[in-house]
Chains A and B, each alone.
Chain A
């Protein structure tokens, strides 16, 4: 340490940038940068939290970044009761689309990725290339043709119209294939075979455990993608009763000018819609912290 500091002035003279060591100045600089951006990232959410605790009068008349009278419980209560509890329904829909879609989607992607990594069969490379192409096809480009296909079978405006397409995660297949190739040894599968375990059973009892970090990552990606999904529901759904919460809040926000009381509901609803995702992130933190980089492994 001290040696590094002592040589620093000489280095600064020649290259300029090399003077930056763990000296107090760069520590302060680094903390300052991170501090300023912490404000940038958190103040909007802080504002949303504060706004959600105010009644309509105080929303515009009190300081926007500090609490006035605590009205959070009343506001949430009013939101949940509004229009026959439609908001609760939207949250329920989002949970159903998301939890079901992410869980099932992850399992299906993992099975396919595992097979691509661990077995040799005709058409394997072609299948993988097609799936890889799928990663690069923007999901929104599929929304319109999906609508046209679902309308052929009279399934638009239903739960299935949003749920079924959400199950497909080409990126999940890509990631689990890489991960299965790297973390499930062939010798282990051989041993399981010798023990008389069937391929499917080996997958669910042994391989899944070894692939777990990748599975959590895929699950999280899917969870976020489906929870945040907007274009597909926007195109597919007309009936408020099957809306996910994003589409519901959007539709309220477009009516704020005609129905001013909706503004408060939009703000409180926005706050509540973030909570489930933050909870999932916190619970799974241990996994995503290390697993997110898995996609970058070549």
Chain B
């Protein structure tokens, strides 16, 4: 030991695999990290930076018909974003959507996961697969399919669709919520279920011997233990909700109630097709920040609770 310590400064670089000394295996580390790092820099970090930069520019013309050129405009685009009524309406719309759809979906997923984990069911493999199948349906395809199912003249559920116009301005948001729920319940169920499987059975054997019923075990033992999984699914659902795009974009073909600014991402898309890239970039930045802040705040909030 002592001899190693003495020669350490000399040998550290080449032979010592010790923890706190200058980095061994530099080339291997570079080989592992650089490919992902480069792609991440190019297609994640650079676009974020570029969007911020673009959002700080404004287009200026000399006279009415002069050539357009981009000049630095400070926060001019953000002023426009904050004065843009339709954009904030769309933000409010997805927040309302999320406030209802995310809890409903996760509650269903939790109930299904607990039932799968309880001794009450037969044919668990079948249910697990049947509930997960919709996740294999791409959002666009699911939206097209449900669009047909909602259409008064094509739907197999004419008893419903001939009496209630599910594609009307009042209901179309909830018609989409159903599509999203249909696709993602099974996926969230599986995430929660697999973390239920990870709980050692001894943990609730004791509770059983004390005479606790399934419901009591689920409430007092299982749910607290799978809380991390529920937090994870909630964060992903929040991110997904704010990004809502495929469903409303598809539903525009089925319902005139879905405008080109129905959700924030549709606003980004329609603004960039104008084209007004600078304003669209500002919308993107605001949306990404909002998503980041919301999911981060939720993570922090739940972590604090976990500590107590």
Interface residues of A (CB under 8 A from B): 4, 7-8, 11, 17-22, 26-27, 30-31, 33-34, 37-38, 40-42, 44-45, 47-48, 51, 59-60, 63-65, 108-109, 111-112, 114-116, 119-122, 127, 130-131, 133-134, 136-142, 144-149, 164-165, 167-168, 170, 173, 190, 193, 198-200, 203, 224, 227-228, 230-231, 234-235, 246-247, 249-250, 253-254, 256-257, 266-267, 270, 273-274, 277-278, 281, 285, 288-293, 295-298
Contacts and interface: CB of A to CB of B under 8 A. Distances in A.
B74 interface: no
B252 to A, nearest CB: 8
A17 B215 contact: yes
Nearest to A19: B213
Q: Is the interface of A mostly helix, strand, loop or mixed?
A: helix
B111 to A, nearest CB: 8
B301 interface: no
B23 A119 contact: yes
A88 B275 CA distance: 32
A119 to B, nearest CB: 5
Interface of B: 17, 19-20, 23, 25-26, 28-29, 31-33, 35-37, 39-40, 42-48, 50-51, 54, 108, 111-112, 115, 118-122, 127-141, 144-149, 153-156, 182, 185-186, 190-191, 193-195, 197-198, 211-216, 219, 226, 228-229, 232, 235, 239, 242-243, 245-246, 249-250, 252-253, 265, 268-269, 272, 277, 280-281, 284-285, 287-288, 291-292, 295-296
A70 B271 CA distance: 46
Contacts of B190: 288-289, 292-293
B132 A281 contact: yes
A38 B127 contact: yes
Contact of B144 (A122, A140, A145, A270): A270
A33 B115 CA distance: 9
Contacts of B36: 108-109, 111-112, 168, 173
Contacts of A253: 144, 147, 250, 253
